[in-house]
Amino acid sequence: MLEKALKGSPKYYIWVGFLLLVILGASGVYLMQLMQGLTITGMSRDVSWGFYIAQFTYLVGLAASGVMIVLPYYFHNYKKFKDLVIFGEFMAIGAVVMCLGFIVVDIGQPQRMLNVMLYPTPNSVLFWDMVVLNGYLILNVLVGWTCLECDRQNLPHPKWSKTLAYVSIVWAFSIHTVTAFLYQGLPGRHYWLTAILAARFLASAFCSGPAILLLVIMLTQKVTTFKANVEGIATLAKIITYAMIVNVFFFLLEVFTAFYSGIPGHTHSIVYLFKGLEGHAELVPFMWTAAALAVGSLCLLIPPRLRDNLKILPWSLAILVIATWIDKGLALLIGGFNPTPFDTIATYWPTGKELIISAMIYAIGALVVTVLFKVATEVKQETGASQKEAVPVEN
Amino acid sequence: MKLYNGGKIITGLVIFLGIFLAPLAYNVGKAAYTQPKLKMPENEKECIESKDFMRTKHMQLLNDWRDFALRDGTRFYVNSKGKQFEMSLQKTCMKCHTNKAEFCDKCHLDASVTPYCWDCHIQPEGLKK
Amino acid sequence: MNHTRRNFLKFAGLTAAGLCVASAGGALAVSGAGSTIKDGEKALKAKRWGMVIDSKKLGTKEAIDVLAKACHSVHNVPNIPGKQNVKWIWADSYEHGFDQPNNYMEESVEKRQFALLCNHCTNAPCVRVCPTQATYKRPDGIVAMDYHRCIGCRYCMAGCPFGARSFNFMEPRLHLDLATLNKEFPTRMRGVVEKCNFCVERLAMGKQPACAEASNGAVVFGDLSDPASEVRKLLREHYTIRRRPALGTEPGVYYII
């Protein structure tokens, strides 16, 4: 089926060419990092993880999010998600590829990476994260590809693919739980050391992930003949809304625990993020932007009339994505490392090179998603499934 | 039997074989490989084990030495003749083999291997900027 | 670990046997056969190594810098300016080192500097989180690192609540005086984490840790499990504290206040 990704409209070629150009150009900067080391990043002795690991964390959420479509479809036989399932699975593949990419670029000695498998260490959460992420990738490739191939040939899906789909639903929860465990089991990092972190991760994943997915699907509708079920979209938007409410609620629980108890360890990180500490207030504007956007997205999503308006919905989703990204793709890491073990503030800001290398990974992910979505939409066009009323001649 | 796309297939095969056999062609007529002449220690005639063993197995030996010394914390090696050595690349091996360029590098270069020992371990000649 | 040793000896023996057969009864050019490994005669041993630092005797930055210099030159620790620095032992204040804030501190303690280093915790989080066992716990309580195996994921740095670990963001040799390197100890390479090793390489040769040796008795190193040891004597006779005891990592470094 992959050959379907080779032929497309000029626009398609331009987009793929653009992504390849970004990847190629940025890989030069990555080579520089390989030769000089991670000194080209803004990371330091005190903030030893930065933008890369933050993006990894955010994208694990995107990977897990497909389950919000797959679960209702398989467990509740919710047929209106039928045409969306494949996109959820393919998005998960792209997201996991980006996760693995961000891990690779973050590691100091990437050529020794296989040591994680050569010396398996069950007491390390990172080992388990490697296991669940790779497992999730394989599951989605197997299930997604097989089901699409069967659809194309008008064959019923094989039984094992359904079993694996069930497994992948449970597995999706595991990938983000294990990723949260990376953080929440560390003594002395109060911002992370909270039992609700995994739940927060899942809540934020289940709003931001489907939001990104829905935005990409809307874009797909614009550039292909594919037309998603309108009721399906409305249901997904409802799921996003509930997840965002839970996400904000969980964060407020953190705020209550920290400030009512008044324990400095619990309050300091939050104070640093939202008010500044010891004269450092770098993240304050970002945090209040995130807070405002989070509230704004809820205002636009909760009233059914606004939520079901397909003109407004993309904007609501976009600001939700920005809000959750600041929370998880930026503040989570910096807030976790600050205050440092010495009760000081160590500022961190990604360098330009760090951002270019991150752009490389994002472009790789976008390329994977583009190719997979192209294949999926072509198959749907071929079989006449979920097509627009008047099928345009050109693709 | 007709060969479809025969021209393309044969061209492809020729290109493949050309690339594949290039190293052989490149070396035609060149002198046969001889083992490089290493600079042996002047004051010491015997290594910790026999020459054959050291030549073929020094990498495994060093690998094991590393784990014994570092991970098990057992730092001395007693060879078959009862002679005792500290398991240390810098403090034992390189005390006799005082010239990395004339000893280690010669074979490693020929064999095109680049062990990463020297990324951390300091060669007996010392380091230069 | 034992099975690898056994395998090694087996393998060495087999190789030797093979060579004997090949040399067809010639001179017994035995290699590896019967080879064994053992500890050095002088090696210092303990069930649980630990350290007591008398902050009354060692309480200024200048004094601690002497120790840091001794340690860093023995271990070829680079001197990197800025926030991507590498350090094994360093000086910091009570406020930064110990999370027991007190608004009205005794003046001498408030102004005192403390020698901070890896605590070689009994329940070391860095050992727990390392995905390759590049950081591991030795039976004698030392938290050691195998730089050959470290992949540079820096999970241990996030895990360590004492800020004891440094990452080689760049090639460390660029920031070392290559003329004065300790040629009996390696440097590190770019991309691995490093930290204090309680001088395992010196203990194996019967020497005290470099900082203890340079401290004029202000730093005492010994076996915490031995009631007769000097560290235990000091702990009996003085009021001591440890860094962040509430986290339960059980540090092996004690401070006399």
**What is residue C100's predicted lDDT score, i.e. its pLDDT?**
78
- How far CA A5 is from CA of A8, A98, A374, in Å, comes to 7, 20, 6
Cα–Cα distance between A44 and C87 in angstroms, integer?
Answer: 13
In sequence order, which residues have a C-beta less than 8 Å from that of residue C172 and are 6 or more positions away?
A: C76, C77, C78, C80, C86, C187, C188, C189, C190
Does C158 reach chain B within 8 Å, measured CB to CB?
no
Where residue A367 falls (left for φ over 0; alpha for ψ -120 to 50; beta otherwise) is alpha
Q: What are the structural domain ranges in chain B?
A: 66-127
Query: Is C1's CB within 8 Å of B54's CB?
Result: no
- Best of A33, A38, A40, A48 to substitute, by most chain C Cβ atoms within 10 angstroms, is A48
**What is residue C19's predicted lDDT score, i.e. its pLDDT?**
43
Is residue A378's pLDDT more than 80?
A: yes
**B100 to chain C, closest Cα gap in Å:** 14
β-pairing verdict for C219-223 and C240-241: unpaired
Q: How far is CA A126 from the centre of its chain?
A: 18
pLDDT tens-digit series, residues A333-350: 999 999 999 999 999 999
Contact C185, C76 (CB under 8 A): yes
Query: Is C31's CB within 8 Å of B80's CB?
Result: yes
Phi and psi dihedrals of B77, rounded to 5? -120, 130
- How far CA A107 is from CA of A39, B125, C138, C193, in Å, comes to 12, 32, 26, 11
**What is residue A167's predicted lDDT score, i.e. its pLDDT?**
93
**What is residue C10's predicted lDDT score, i.e. its pLDDT?**
47
- Best of C28, C36, C177 to substitute, by most chain B Cβ atoms within 10 angstroms, is C36
**B45 to chain C, closest Cα gap in Å:** 14
Query: Is C131's CB within 8 Å of A346's CB?
Result: no
Q: Which residue has the tokens 């290398």?
A: A357
Who among C5, C40, C183 is closest to B122 (CB)? C183
Does C15 reach chain B within 8 Å, measured CB to CB?
yes
Who among C16, C146, C188 is closest to B71 (CB)? C146
Q: Does some domain include residue A394?
A: no
Q: Does some domain include residue A148?
A: yes
**What is residue A142's predicted lDDT score, i.e. its pLDDT?**
94
Is residue A16's pLDDT more than 50?
A: yes
β-pairing verdict for C219-223 and C49-54: antiparallel
Task: Describe the crossing of helices A51-65 and A159-184 by its angle, rounded to 10 degrees.
Answer: 150
**What is residue C18's predicted lDDT score, i.e. its pLDDT?**
44
Mean pLDDT of B27-54: 86
Query: Is A188's CB within 8 Å of C130's CB?
Result: no
Whole-number mean pLDDT of chain A?
93
pLDDT tens-digit series, residues B93-112: 998 999 898 899 999 998 89
**B42 to chain C, closest Cα gap in Å:** 21
Mean pLDDT of A355-366: 97
One DSSP character per residue, C134-173 reads: SEEE-TTS-EEE-TTT-----HHHHH-TT---EE--S-GG
Query: Is C129's CB within 8 Å of A124's CB?
Result: yes
Chains that touch C (3 or more CB pairs under 8 A): A, B
pLDDT tens-digit series, residues A247-259: 999 999 999 999 9
* pLDDT cut 90: percent of chain A above it: 87
Cα–Cα distance between B74 and B93 in angstroms, integer?
Answer: 17
Q: Which of A181, A185, A176, A339 is nearest to A247 (CA)?
A: A176
Q: Which of B9-23, B42-56, C28-42, C101-115 has the lowest mean pLDDT?
A: C28-42
**What is residue B129's predicted lDDT score, i.e. its pLDDT?**
67
Q: Does some domain include residue A395?
A: no
Query: Is C40's CB within 8 Å of B78's CB?
Result: no
Per the DSSP assignment, residues forming a β-bridge with C117 are C89
Cα–Cα distance between C87 and C75 in angstroms, integer?
Answer: 11
More confident residue, A162 or C24: A162
Who among B60, B74, B120 is closest to C187 (CB)? B120
Where residue C43 falls (left for φ over 0; alpha for ψ -120 to 50; beta otherwise) is beta
Cα–Cα distance between B9 and A388 in angstroms, integer?
Answer: 43
Contact A177, A57 (CB under 8 A): no
ipTM of this predicted structure: 0.91
The CB-side HSE value for A229 (13 A sphere, CA atoms) comes to 14
Residue A390: pLDDT band (50, 70, 90) is low
Query: Is A126's CB within 8 Å of C153's CB?
Result: yes
**What is residue C29's predicted lDDT score, i.e. its pLDDT?**
33
- How far CA A240 is from CA of A247, A318, B61, in Å, comes to 10, 12, 59
**What is residue B80's predicted lDDT score, i.e. its pLDDT?**
82
State how many domains chain A has: 1
Cα–Cα distance between A107 and C247 in angstroms, integer?
Answer: 28
Is residue A101's pLDDT more than 90?
A: yes
DSSP state of A185: T
Is residue A17's pLDDT more than 80?
A: yes
The domain of A299 spans: 2-389
**What is residue C33's predicted lDDT score, i.e. its pLDDT?**
58
pLDDT tens-digit series, residues A279-310: 999 999 999 999 999 999 999 999 999 999 99
Question: The domain spanning residue A284 has which CATH number?
Answer: 1.20.1630.10
Residue B8: pLDDT band (50, 70, 90) is very high
Dihedral (CA of A235, A236, A237, A241) sign: positive
β-pairing verdict for C253-256 and C49-54: parallel
Contact A56, A201 (CB under 8 A): no
**What is residue A46's predicted lDDT score, i.e. its pLDDT?**
95
**What is residue C6's predicted lDDT score, i.e. its pLDDT?**
46
pLDDT tens-digit series, residues A179-233: 999 999 999 899 999 999 999 999 999 999 999 999 999 999 998 888 888 899 9
Who among B49, B66, B129 is closest to C31 (CB)? B49
Is residue A386's pLDDT more than 80?
A: no
Does C186 reach chain B within 8 Å, measured CB to CB?
yes
**What is residue A1's predicted lDDT score, i.e. its pLDDT?**
79
Residue B76: pLDDT band (50, 70, 90) is very high
Please identify every stretch of chain C with a pLDDT value under 50, giving residue numbers as ranges.
Answer: 1-3, 5-6, 9-11, 13-31
Nearest chain C Cα to B53, which residue? C31
Tokens linked to A35: 């030769």
